Chains A and B, each alone.
Chain A
Amino acid sequence: MQNVAMNGDQAIALAWKQIDPDVVAAYPITPQTIIVEAFSEFVADGLVNTEYVCAESEHSAMSLCIGASAAGARVATATASAGLAFMWETLYIASSMRLPIVMAVANRALSGPINIHCDHSDAMGARDSGWIQLFGENVQEAYDDSLMAFRIAEHMDIRLPIMTCLDGFIVTHSLERLETLPDDVVKKFVGEFKWKRSLLDIKNPTTMGPFDWTDYYFEHKYQQAEAMKRVPAVVKSVSEEFARLSGRKYDLIEPYKLDDADYALVAMGSTAGTLKEVVDGLRAEGKKVGSLKLRLFRPFPAEELAKTLEGLKGVAVLDRALSIGAAGPIFPELRSALFEAPKRPRITNYIYGLGGRDIKPEELRTVYDQLMHNQGETVNYLGVRA
């Protein structure tokens, strides 16, 4: 175990270095650039055996990943924002082909206007694509998620691609303390890559990516949905194994001081960290509040959320993305999860932090205040000059 100071991007590059994937194909985009640059240095110094391909676009980067994964290689890549948007169609293709590609997404706002800072709109735009989506809070989680991601995606009952999300700039570029695992521990944890069918298995020629008429497409999609259902159990078991190695225990959702809470805020990413500070401050004042960090967004852990949040008086869902014309993306899914709870809380939505707009503890306090006084609209905007 080593204690180092790194930013989120460097931590991911380090995780990849320790895992030494067969192929990395990527295209640089702020704020993911440090991942590919740091990894390039490992390649240049012969510290990895990875076949490293500098793609000429993100669409081609994901296409390269699809080809490599289909050919029986362990594949990693990273992108953000417009890059994720550019590869959008290939995301659906990768998941339909059941390719366990691991991708780090440095969450950044989608254009326009063009903005390089943090919000979750990029990953949210891909939430229907059939990828597993994990959101990390800080540099430690960026590192740990990158290690666990391979085990989750590659599990023989799963075989789905996974994106590990981290907040652009806030986590990608901030130096934080990181506990790393030794190389041999990582190698043993991640294990050898096992392919199910490979294009390079020339004795068993496989046709991949066929055409479906109306008579088969629906069944093929249903298979993907069934595979997604098996993900939460795998995430839990992988997390347990990881906890034994690292001492850090992760879960699909992480409640903070919720046991006797009346009011809670729910968030993903770095804001979940800020929330813990706000909760501590309010608790010191005797307020019965808590928070919940949502780590697994796809598949959506409806059951766990319902069990944890039912019985509370009020819940505010913080969304760092907006489906314009509706609400934030987490809000309707969470509300729906609690719809049939015998004692369901009042649930409201707070859109915040778009385009990297900073979110301050005082602002989060006001949300708790609104909850405690039964105020606020169903959908609110936090921190915008309106």
Chain B
Amino acid sequence: MAPYLPIVIMLGLGMLFAAGSFIGSGLLAPKKPTNAKSAPYECGIVPQREPVARFPVRFYLIAMIFIIFDIEIIFLYPFAVVFHQLGSFGLSEMVVFAVVVFVSFVYLISNGALDWGPVKRYGIQEPYPQRTTTSTIRRVASGEEAA
């Protein structure tokens, strides 16, 4: 049980801090709510439902690149534990493995996976829905049935 004690203490401290922050701000902050203040936005139409969260596909791409290295770690960690017993054979196999992962990384970089600048469009443009007044108005009006 003894080696787990620091973890338990850390867990306790973390929970204490989280609870303390909430309780502290609840006690200390002044509370004078009005209708206007508790509305989600201070101007414009009151939204009927939560807006669809949109964020760039690029984030998925970064997450996927991360997974490549994640997988590498899964194998590197057990290898590191028995590094001495495996000797040169283990090292050479691991180098081969790392090279394979690295080649895929080179491929990603060459295809612009890590370009964070403004979006460049290569080749053929994707067909994109025409946004006109009718489509926009229809979208707002039929908001509830679309949900």
- Do A and B actually bind? no
Report which A residues bind B (CB closer than 8 A). none
